[in-house]
Structure 1
Amino acid sequence: MAGHVLVGADGSESSLEAVSIAAREARERGLGLRIVHAFIWPRMRAAGVAAAAEALRGQADALVVAAVEHARAAEPDLADVEGEVVTGEPLTVLAVRSADADLVVVGSRGLGAFTGLLIGSVAVYLAAHAECPVLVVRGRADADGLVAVAVDASGDAQAAVDAAFAEAERRGTGLLALHVWNTWSAESPDHRPGALTPLVSNISELRKEAGQTLTSALAPGLVAHPHISVERRLLEGRVRPALIEASKEARMIVVGARGRGGFKGLIMGSVSQALLLHADCPVLVVRGGSEHHA
């Protein structure tokens, strides 16, 4: 079922917020919306358990109907809205269904889209395993400002830059391109992951390389979207705190799911995870090489 935004629902306030955001994203992208409630049903055949399972099924069906109505109320112009109750472990179901989706949306407050699972675990799991971009709705409810993107030299980061240009285009705003560098960014002498970096580095050379990384990553997007204004910002310091601080002035921050690049010596996944847990605005996580783009 291609051409749709996917969102999980469990009836909680957080999941209904995610449904509203997913509906808006679907409308803005000209896509359909698929709302899924996943549940592992009792397997025992005892009469009492069977009756309980039937009651749970009725509750699940009612929950999905309510979520569909909520989406239609939030976005009356969105015609293609469907809901489904699926048997299975919720995270696995969403990860598998993401292969046919253009975007997965996850809520952010308290217990997330699935009862009993903290939102951090939901967001981190899907960011690592989904086959399409994942939008985590967190931070300020109505974040404004530019679309920010974390840039390094990895394949995932380039995909994130491409997605960020598309988001800026969709939202009619500019782009804030962020590259964080420090003395640990220097390449190790033998280029081995985890190898010790020289204690003394040429600071001006590191700064120059950081600027080149940013320029190279932005070049394709500037050609494809020449009318989008881009603010380039080189930040010296620790990667995760710098990006979390920058999220306070953005309406969305886009980041690659994983990989190594300009943030050498630091798994990109740890950066994306930090933003999923601490950013002050929604976070869009993009994986390089995916056939789906937000």
Structure 2
Amino acid sequence: MTTVAGAAVVVGVDGSPRSMDAVEVAAAEAARRRRPLRIVHAQARTAAREQPDEVRERAAACLAEAVRMAGKVTSDIAVTTEVVAGRPAAALTALSRHASLLVVGDRGLGGLLFGSVPNHVASHADCPVLVVRGEPRTTGPVVVGVDGAGDSAGAVDVALEEASLRDTSLVALHAWCGTDGTELTSSVAMRSGFRSGEAQEERVLAEALAGAADRYPEVPVRRHVVRGDAGPLLADWSHLAQLVVVGERCHSGLAGLMLGSVSQHLIFHADCPTTVVRAVPPAGRLGFSGSGSASSRPRLRV
């Protein structure tokens, strides 16, 4: 995840209603973080029948409307616009290297935010990706999905930060399927010779949240260990939450073309915005010392 000082919140727009919803959410996130907002319109190669002037005018109109929508949310942030060349998924992924947060809608006009684009950027981005769908709301908890494989460590950090920024509580959900694995990472076996059970799953969740109270004493944390499918369970919580946060493994090659089943389920079925946090190797993971007051401790830049 990016640690660039002053990195902007980046939002992709294509003129669709959903992308304008994403602009409003992104403006609120930028204001909450005291970050600039960067509004981006990506253009792949134009069709032969399209005139360059028409393409430029359409892009300018799209960006002007996006600026207007951002201004309805807040006037306290710096806003810039940009037209970038290239396929939308690749262009947004490249921009994520210098962003604090990347915001996209779950669907669009068939250009910037259509089909696989949210999946692609969530699988490859170098910063957290917030996918806007369902009902953006300012009440309710932040909900985070926790697995037993370490892939959710970054998601837990981001979720705690989000709950703190929103002055709300955190619900940490660990779903298990009653086998030797966890639902969020079903391919990851539990410790050799130790069959998964509720007591063990409680321990998994406790370990994932270790130090949370020291780092974020202002955030009330509720723990839920539930037997069942993580995707539908988190989607159920999304009806009450203002944000759902999940972790996503690092991918490479062909494996990186698809999100994990839980992240993908939420992108298409959640009733509130969902943030996907791509896991990074332990040596590169941002962390906290677990000491210091709420005002003095280092903060995760998201």
TM range (shorter): 0.7 to 0.9
Task: Specify whether residues 214 and 58 from structure 1 end up closer, same or farther in structure 2 by C-alpha distance, changes over 3 A only.
Answer: same
Code of the aligned partner of 2:230: V
Is 1:160 the counterpart of 2:155? The answer is yes
Q: Is the 8 A contact 2:13 2:23 kept in 1?
A: yes
Whole-angstrom distance in 2 between the partners of 1:249 and 1:43: 44
Matches within 5 A, 1:63-212: 63-78=62-77, 80-108=78-106, 111-112=107-108, 115-116=110-111, 119-142=114-137, 144-186=139-181, 193=187, 206-212=197-203
Cross-structure match for 1:4: 8
Note the alpha carbon deviations across 1:168-202, whole angstroms, 9 max, x for none: 10000111010011222349xxxx9589xx9xx85
The answer for the alignment partner of 1:263 in structure 2 is: none
Which segments of 5 or more consecutive residues in structure 1 lack a partner in the other structure? 260-266
Q: Secondary structure at the match of 1:248?
A: coil
- Distance, in Å, in 2 between the alignment partners of 1:24 and 1:258 is 28
TM-score norm. by structure 2 comes to 0.80
* Aligned structure 1 segments of 4 or more residues deviating by more than 4 angstroms: 116-120, 192-195, 290-293
Offset at residue 95 of structure 1 (A): 0.6
Q: For the residues of structure 2 that align with 1:275 and 1:72, how far apart are their CA atoms? A: 29
Q: Are 2:19 and 1:15 aligned? A: yes
Q: Which amino acid aligns with 2:261?
A: S
Q: Residues 42 and 112 of structure 2 are in contact (CA less than 8 Å); yes or no, is this contact kept in structure 1?
A: no
1:284 alignment partner in structure 2: 275
Equivalent residue pairs, number:
270
Work out whether 1:213 is the aligned partner of 2:211: no
1:67-86 per-residue CA deviation (whole Å, 9 max, x = no partner) reads 223212321122x1000111
SS in 2 for 1:183: coil
Cα distance, 1:165 vs structure 2: 0.5
SS at 1:232's partner residue? strand
Larger-Rg structure:
1
Q: Aligned-pair RMSD on alpha carbons?
A: 2.9
Q: How does 1:231-242 map to 2 (within 5 A)?
A: 231-242=222-233
Gaps of 5+ in 2: 251-257, 287-299
CA contact 1:4–1:103 (8 Å) conserved in 2: yes
- Closer, same or farther: CA 293–77 of 1 in aligned 2, 3 Å: closer
Question: CA offset at residue 14 of structure 1?
Answer: 1.1
Contact preservation (8 Å) 1:258, 1:272: no
1:127–1:69 distance in 2 versus 1, CA, 3 Å = same
With over 3 angstroms needed to count, the CA separation of the structure-2 counterparts of 1:186 and 1:82, relative to structure 1, is closer
Deviation at 1:241, TM superposition (A): 2.1
Cα separation, 2, equivalents of 1:168 and 1:194: 28
**Greater shift after overlay, 84-93 or 57-66?**
57-66
- Residue 41 of structure 1 contacts residue 53 of structure 1 at CA under 8 Å; is this kept in 2? no
Secondary structure at 1:148's aligned position in 2?
A: strand
Distance 1:193-1:115 versus aligned 2 partners, 3 A rule: closer
The one-letter amino acid of 1:172's match is D
| CA distance, structure 1, for counterparts of residue 46 and residue 175 of structure 2 | 50
Residue by residue over 1:106-144, the C-alpha shift from the partner in whole angstroms, topping out at 9 and shown as x without a partner, is 123xx42x5346655222111101110001111224263
Asked if the contact 2:245/2:274 (under 8 Å) is kept, the reply is yes
Amino acid at match of 1:155: G
Structure having the higher helix fraction is 1
Aligned residues: percent identity? 41
Is the 2:88–2:111 Cα contact (8 Å) retained in structure 1? Answer: no
1:229 is aligned to: 220
